[in-house]
Structure 1
Amino acid sequence: MSATHCPAFLISAPASGQGKTSITAAIARQARRQGQRVRVFKTGPDYLDPMVLERASGAPVYQLDLFMGGLAHCRALLCAAAREADLILVEGVMGLFDGQPSSADLAAAFGLPVLVVLDASGMAQTFAALATGLARYRSDIQVAGVIANRVGSEGHARMLAQGLPPELPLLAAFTRHEALALPERHLGLVQALECPQLDEQLDAWAEAWLAAQALGQGWPPQAAALALAEAEPPTPPHPEQPLRGLHLAIARDACFSFIYPANVDVLREMGAQLHFFSPLAHEPLPACDALWLPGGYPELHAATLRAHPSFFEALHQHLAAHKPLLAECGGMLCLLQSLTDGEGHSHAMAGLLPGQAQMQPRLAALGLQSVCWPQSAQPLRGHTFHYSLMQSGPAPHTRAENPNGGRAAEALYVQGSLLASYIHHYFPSNPEAVARFFGAALR
């Protein structure tokens, strides 16, 4: 056994909306500008924040999720990052103790020092009370410092710091920067590829981070080294490569963008040859044995998809040839008879699945999911998060289970060589099922 060491922090908050993503991106960008190798992770299922964090750090952002990936998978990802990085940042999800598993559970599992981001606007001495309560709520985590966000002035920053105990320093204080806020839409942040000025904005965040440190007690905090025991040498994850020789097409653009890097890794490790294409750019479906339509924003691009000269017909031909097709969330909506967008405009879709979908003004479903594909008695894990509702759809093959007992328990639809669901699947949770489904094209 050996140990891999690297400075690492989990950046969390008491709630969503405190500024975790922008501050994580600011720290990563400034470290990168100083020549450091930075790896950033995101706790829990998320596609949008990682897009921004990837641009900030210059490296792909993977999920660390104790439910979707499990302890050993998360440890392997952290170990791989620690071998090549000078700094590891893990952005938490929701509040520090929210959810099962929570960001605090992840910090406890790997001894990650926690940095708490607090929105200090409209707050004085209560800031210290809130920070102290978060630090002392659980004895199995270490809160190494506090970062104040949306501070009104230098005097406000001093006031915030005065009430904190010595072991809980105010590391930095961000003053209000409304111009640096990223635009949002119904699923969260606007995608990084849709923000042409993002790099300039990230550089501005990095400068703001430097200024924020001047109003605090300095960076980095003490006791920040992450030590992870690992076995040597690591074994190949999929030595038999069950998808060797498979040509797998994957839609990828602003419409089909919800793709976990770990999913792509699994497919490549199993030997698949991946062919990415953009339906929005009216690129044709590549010659392929199997197809993956991931989630995204078909409701924003339905007219463009409909105008594609061959996309919908190619989907018909693909399924008529009994080739595997996985359609997740937005990818599934493209296969319905119609999709009504947020403005009430109805768009004809591919018509490969019965039913219609309509965007809703409120969230329709959110939650972790566990579902068994027909190819395996063991479940795949993932999550659901969508604003659309489907009417008159096909009969479900099965339904997912929600590990937290929530109402969201999505249907899995099976129609010939098609698997479709609102679920965004995490392939490392059951690579064998993924191999059996896509690998049917080789048999």
Structure 2
Amino acid sequence: MVKDYDDALNFIHGRTKFKKSDHLNRMHRFLEMLGDPQQNISAIHVAGTNGKGSTVAYLRDLLMTQGYTVGTFTSPFLVRFNERISVDGKPISDADLIELVNQVQPVVAELDASYPEGGPTEFEIITAMMFLYFKTQVDVAVIEVGIGGLLDSTNVFTPAVSVITTIGFDHMKILGNTLPEIAAQKAGIIKPKVPVVAGRLPESAMKVVEQTAAKNQSALYRVGHEAAADIKSATGWQEKFDYQFEDQLFKGLKISMLGDYQVDNASCALTAFILYQRQQHQVINHSTTVRSLAKTVWAGRFEPLNQDPLIVIDGAHNEPAIEELTALLKQRFSDNEIYILFGVLADKQHDKMLATLRTVANLHIVLTTFQGPGTRAVTDPQQLAAQYQDDQRIEVIDNWQLAIGTILQRMSAEDLFLITGSLYFISDVRAFFKEL
């Protein structure tokens, strides 16, 4: 029995982080011993290299405007662990978390003692707790995949709709080294005759998704094809686009998250929402849909922390996300000097990420370090900088708090200060600014 919140977290975080496995047998057995709660929920399943969190946020808000109580399962968290299991945007209470840990603990102990491969991992336990909680608390859940799809602990239920937002290079040690290999893992969430929504995927990845959908007799709706999203030029802190999917036409939709890729995420969410509403035989309220998309925000995704000077954080924690971020900087901030503070985990493609950022002309980059989660190593900024000794725009300040102070002294009121890299780093920075 755990008595308090710290005990509950220690139990969860004390588990093995990851066990590579070519099946989900242990997860199925674990849930079976808990009464198979995953079979009693209505849910939308969201996979993708990037864009999952934003897509989940858009979906949550769209569903909430229709009067549903909506559960969301996301990772990682930005401020507190409880964010990972939320209802209507509110993190699970400490008391409920403790109760769930006490519910799963005896089953975990039994599996530790009896299961040949050992008991459940940390993520399997959190996933099981989420299913138990949502079974009694929500009308509909939006469940984000942890890593990949096919062998992810969440891939143990039949959703109402499956969504694959993006496919790019990340977690290659687990998912494979080519886009078709990675796509095969993501497409593993496609279930027989369950509709699939796909964002703008690279051709080789889309082919795998199309084949998997066809094999499962699952209707496939692709952003840019069956669901048309036509971006309009926008001023201020917004994106504007027209959207059409079959008989649903929305002109001049506005979203408050910047970047063409956010238009794609919103379009994925809107398409999945329309499909879900149809299954429920519910009408789509045009005006509440428009208002919902306009107000959705997702912490840590090109999120302004301060307006004057403009300070923005963005958890662009892998190469595909940095590519999108770089395109946004060139498109929207070409007239501003841009100061970037960059800290990233060592297992990411940090040299490629930095090479991409360097293509922005009006740029100054400060490389830094931070306290990584658990035992995960952080990239050494000195080693990274050594590769770019000829680039006068790159320097190292090891202490990130000191780096923030230094950059703020150098920049003028018209400049942009962007803090990016690992989501864990962004979480620390966000907390730091909230305390100021």
**TM-score, reference length from structure 2:** 0.34
Kindly indicate which of the two structures has a greater share of residues assigned to strand: 1
| Structure whose alpha-carbon radius of gyration is higher | 1
Higher percent of residues as helix: 2
TM-score w.r.t. length of structure 1: 0.34
